[in-house]
Amino acid sequence: MDNVNKYRICMVSDFFYPLIGGVENHIYQLSQCLIEQNHKVIVVTHAYNDRVGVRYMANGLKVYYLPYRPFYNNTILPTVFSTIPLIRSILLREQITIVHGHSSFSTLAHETMHHAKTLGIRTVFTDHSLFGFADLSSVLTNKILQVSLVDCHHIICVSHTCKENTMLRANLKSSKISVIPNAVDSSAFTPDITLRPASDEIVIIVASRLVYRKGIDLLIGILPKILRKYSNVKFRIAGNGPKEIDIREVIEREGTEDRVALEGSVNHDKMRDFLNSGHIFLNTSLTEAFCMAIVEAAACGLLVVSTKVGGIPEVLPSEDTQSDIMILCEANINDVFIGLCNAIDRIKLGQIPNANQWHDKIKNWYSWRYVTQNTEVVYNHIMTKESISLKERIQRYKQCGFVSGFVMSFVAIIAYLIFLFLDYHQPKKLIDLSVDYMNLRKNHFELLANELIHEVLDYLSPIHIIKCFKNLNKRFSHLISQRLLKVDLTHLSKIQYNELIQILPLKQINSLKISNRWTINIVKHIPFKSMNNLQVLILAHISYNELRYLFEPKNLFLIFQQLNIFKIQSTNINGLDRERIFVLKKIFSQMPKLRLCQIPLIDVNDFDDLTPSFTLERLIIDYCTMMCLGK
């Protein structure tokens, strides 16, 4: 691909990892494939608990976790203007040419697309859901979608049903919307029939959120009927939600606890084995734009029984086309019951889908590379269009109705004025441009994810980490500042120590070991007060007299009181009994958090006057000292 067709793309949505779901997986997989095609891709989402700031994922995918907290249903509070400074800075710093928003529910996606239009950046939106038209929530969501997409360059839907729904909701022309189906990572969902029961037992798999929209009331209605009719059928249900209580009530009422297993939330990496443990996959959704779960189940070779709603009939060939992989039913209890009975009878007769054959079909039909190629076509198309001016945007807003048009025109003008003020207060030329990783090799060290970099750093000493990486760049400075360090000052000279103590971040030291003939002199000069996270201290070549010197000052002993592990090794046994007893009493009575202690014992009778702390879990006594005493 030549430089003309390399784009800098900003994926934006309120829904991204660490959340697990269809939108989150779509953004991640599409981003990875676009990076493989030498595009630059970043992801913008809101903060999740302590996950705030910039994080790096595989292949150098940069994720901005903005410091905005979720307000409702994992979306931020809609404010429009408050996000302008940060979004503007990111889009300019990353030199973004295309902003790609995801999900109609995402407030952050709509606001970022609005700001991108003010900057003259092309926008694309992918709709992943179906909505109604009657209830108040749908009316408000549809109006927001209409004013957001009226000046969007292009829209992508995941199914033809989703396209029709979006056209009606947002009053859009058909030519402005493209259909690009979702995809599945076929390598993560391979068939393995050996995980199925060896007996004549038939297992039905259900995997969805246990909410009304997923048709859990239909599931509750057919459970007793199926279990009464077929004594060899069992259910395994994965997921959680408010309807879980209703399912448990049915199970207890029917006394079928041994035949219905509620598995709770199943991790994505374990979903393949979970699916392969069954014969039939049941989906009872009341509305779906594109059901990824049935594609994953089919990739594992399961016979699928699903309600005939939304875009599901487009996903897999059904019974009507002589398919042996999916049976479609109307969204009512009787029809789903009949369809499920039909599937069970098929399994009994040995009419099991050829798992490997269907896996190969799914692999060819639903490939992320195919999705990427079609998305690139959309990107190429919108880049041939002119950016939309403020005047033209206001004209388009008037098409959305008098009130909506007036409000959005006012918002657009105020946002434009804020951008003018920011251009004066923080000119574009003063914004540092980010490093363009497209020009770096794919195996470049800085492109590794944070988790992998931490694994690499585990093999290095803290001294080398600080010297080599601390001032490399802002990212590594931040990574180093998050690590707790295990520092070993063994065999350092005074000069080396004095040099090192100037660069070591004392607040990050979690474990400290000092072992040489300068021990006591070094310890005297260590600023322990700054070591708030110190939990492990190991001292060697130190006498009880010197230890007493350390324990006597109150300000110095305070740091010892926070230790979890304290070891005294290779100690000079010379010293008075009162010094030894003083030190041992301090250790056992005034170190309240101590869990592990190692000490050299001069006299076994020392324990007569000592009472170990109740928190002490393990006491190690220097065996060599005991041997010298003939004990």
- Please classify residue 44 by burial: count the beta carbons closer than 10 Å to its beta carbon, then call 0-12 exposed, 13-18 middle and 19+ buried: buried
Among 359-373, 542-556, 579-593, name the most confident range.
359-373
d(CA 609, CA 168): 85
As a whole number, mean pLDDT of residues 335-341 equals: 93
Instruction: With a cut of 90, say whether residue 223 has pLDDT above it.
Output: yes
At residue 179, the 3 state secondary structure works out as strand
Sheet holding 509-515, edge to edge: 485-488, 509-515, 536-540, 565-569, 596-599, 618-621
Helix axes 292-299 and 355-365, enclosed angle (nearest 10): 140
The string of pLDDT tens digits covering residues 600-614 is 765 666 666 666 667
Give the pLDDT confidence score for residue 98 in this predicted structure: 95
Structure confidence at residue 48 (pLDDT): 87
| Percent of the chain whose pLDDT exceeds 90 | 27
Predicted local confidence at residue 443, as pLDDT: 53
- Under 8 Å between Cβ of 522 and 514: yes
Right CATH for 202-366 from 3.30.1130.10, 3.30.1330.10, 3.30.450.20, 3.40.50.2000: 3.40.50.2000
Nearest to 282 by CA among 237, 332, 221, 231: 237
Query: Taking 60 as the threshold, does the pLDDT of residue 627 lie above it?
Result: no
pLDDT band at 631 (very low <50, low <70, confident <90, very high): very low
Number of other residues whose CB lies within 10 A of the CB of residue 172: 18
- Whether the bond between 612 and the residue before it is cis, its omega within 30 degrees of 0, is no
Where does the pLDDT of residue 199 fall: very low under 50, low under 70, confident under 90, or very high at 90 and above? confident
Is it the case that residue 448 has pLDDT exceeding 80? no
pLDDT of residue 256: 87
On whether the CB atoms of residues 468 and 480 are closer than 8 A, the answer is: no
**pLDDT beyond 90 at 357:** no
Torsions phi, psi of 71, nearest 5? -105, -50
Contacts of 172 (CB under 8 A, 6+ apart): 149, 155, 166
Bridge partners of 360, per DSSP, are: none
Q: Which residue has the tokens 């002589």?
A: 322
Name the more confident of 432 and 192: 192
Tell me the mean pLDDT in the region 470-488. Answer: 76
Residues 6+ apart with CB under 8 A from 90: 10, 42, 44, 64, 96
pLDDT, mean over the chain: 82
Report whether 596 contacts 618 (CB < 8 A).
Answer: yes
16-54 residue pLDDT tens:
988 777 788 889 999 999 998 889 999 999 998 888 888
Quick check: 133 pLDDT over 80? no
The single-letter code of the amino acid at 204 is: I
Q: What is the pLDDT averaged over residues 275-290?
A: 89
Max Cα–Cα distance, the chain, nearest Å = 99
Tokens for 4, please give them: 């003309």
Residue, of 626 and 113, whose pLDDT is higher = 113
Which residue is associated with the tokens 């070094």?
522
What's the full length of the chain, in residues? 631
In the Cβ-directed half-sphere of 605, how many Cα atoms lie within 13 Å? 2
Residue 369, CA distances (Å) to 74, 184, 414 in order: 29, 10, 41
Position 353, amino acid: P
CA geometry: angle 90, 92, 98, nearest 5 deg: 90
The DSSP letter of residue 432 is P
Query: For position 485, what pLDDT does the model report?
Result: 82
The dihedral through the CA atoms of 561, 566, 569, 575 has a sign that is positive
The predicted model gives 520-539 an average pLDDT of 71
Choice among 11-20, 226-235, 586-595 with the minimum mean pLDDT: 586-595
What number is the average pLDDT over the span 370-398? 90
**pLDDT beyond 90 at 113:** yes
How far is the C-alpha of 272 from the C-alpha of 77, rounded, in Å? 36
Residues of the chain with CATH 3.40.50.2000: 8-183+370-430, 202-366
Q: Which residue has the tokens 């300019």?
A: 92
CA nearest 203: which of 264, 269, 259?
Answer: 259
What pLDDT is stored for residue 629 in this prediction? 39
For 494, the token pair is 């005074």
Q: What are the residues facing 178 on neighbouring strands?
A: 156
132-160 mean pLDDT: 85
The β-bridge partners of 124 are: 100, 154
- From the list 473, 562, 552, the residue with the least C-alpha distance to 511 is 562
Which helix (H) or strand (E) is 626 found in, with range?
helix 623-628
CA nearest neighbour of 601 among 578, 561, 628: 628
CA 380 from centroid of its chain's CA atoms = 30
Q: What are phi and psi of 329, to 5 degrees?
A: -135, 155
Find the helix or strand (DSSP H, E) in which 87 lies.
helix 84-93
Residue 468 in this model has a pLDDT that exceeds 80 = no
In whole angstroms, how far apart are CA 521 and each of 156, 331, 527?
70, 80, 13
CA-based nearest residue to 215, from 266, 159, 315, 291 = 291
Res. 337 pLDDT band, cuts 50 70 90? very high
Tell me if 413 sits within 8 A of 390, measured CB to CB.
yes
| CB within 8 Å of 180: residues ≥ 6 apart | 156, 157, 158, 371, 374, 375, 378
Q: To which residue do tokens 């393995």 refer?
A: 192
The first and second tokens of residue 422, run together, are: 């920011």
pLDDT-derived band at 626 (thresholds 50, 70, 90) equals very low
DSSP-derived pairing of the beta strands 40-46 and 53-57: unpaired
Buried b (16+ CB within 10 A) or exposed e, 580-614: bbbbbebbbeebeebeebebbbbeeeeeeeeeebe
Top-tier CATH class for 8-183+370-430: alpha beta
Q: pLDDT band for position 350 (50/70/90)?
A: confident
Confidence (pLDDT) at 65? 93
For residue 519, how many other CB atoms are within 10 A of its CB?
17
Q: Where is pLDDT greater, at 36 or 624?
A: 36
Under a CB-based contact definition with an 8 Å cutoff, are residues 75 and 81 in contact? no
Highest mean pLDDT: which range of 127-136, 194-203, 377-386: 377-386
- Output the CA–CA distances (angstroms, integers) from residue 131 to 21, 77, 347, 376, in the order listed: 18, 21, 36, 27
pLDDT at 115 over 80: yes
**Whether pLDDT at 68 is above 50:** yes
pLDDT attached to residue 2? 45
The whole-angstrom separation of Cα 149 and Cα 365 is 29
Range of lowest pLDDT (438-452, 467-481, 560-574, 613-627): 438-452
